[in-house]
Amino acid sequence: MPDYSNYNARTYESYSEIWKNTGKCVFCDLKDKYIITEKDGVVLTVNLFPYIDGHLLIIPRRHFENFEDADKIEWEATKTLADIGEKLIKKFCSTEGVWFLFRLEEGFKSQKTVAHAHAHLIPYSPKLFKWEFQKVEFPPEEFAKELRSGLK
């Protein structure tokens, strides 16, 4: 059986295999001992495979893969839990900033490792991510004009 330790799951991209091997979604089967608080069917929980100390998740109890499928109550609960999580992270992790990250795609696109909608609250650290800026092909004004034309 593969080693599903914190380090290996993230480093060798095997985390998605954990729930595939058990036959159930790890977020649908989330244990209460990891949950910090809950509101209207959405939970604020610690991340079992954190990128950094203090990394939290916001997870709807209802299973869906894309936040576009969240109802108004779930969105409002997500915002409330994000505010609570931000305050807790700032209080307990001595950080000045918190990143809020969620991915819209279904399945395992955009580096998602669990096919269940979820958002990350990550204490800011300049050592956590290194941005590799790319050459910009479209001047911002032209890109805005192009995007506006797509709204028609």
pLDDT at 4 over 50: no
pLDDT tens digits, 82-96: 999 999 999 999 888
pLDDT tens digits, 24-75: 788 888 889 999 999 999 999 998 888 888 999 999 999 998 888 999 999 9
Report the 10 Å Cβ neighbour count for 120. Answer: 18
CATH superfamily to which 6-150 belongs:
HIT-like (3.30.428.10)
pLDDT at 100 over 70: yes
pLDDT of residue 55: 93
Report the 10 Å Cβ neighbour count for 63. Answer: 13
Domain limits of the chain?
6-150
**pTM (two decimals):** 0.78
pLDDT at 16 over 80: no
Confidence of residue 80 (pLDDT cuts 50, 70, 90): very high
The whole-angstrom distance between residue 134's C-alpha and the CA centroid of its chain comes to: 24
3-state secondary structure of 44: strand
What letters, b where the CB count within 10 A reaches 16 and e where it falls short, cover 122-147?
bbbeeeeeeeeeeeeeeeeeeeeeee
Q: Which two tokens stand for residue 20?
A: 């595939």
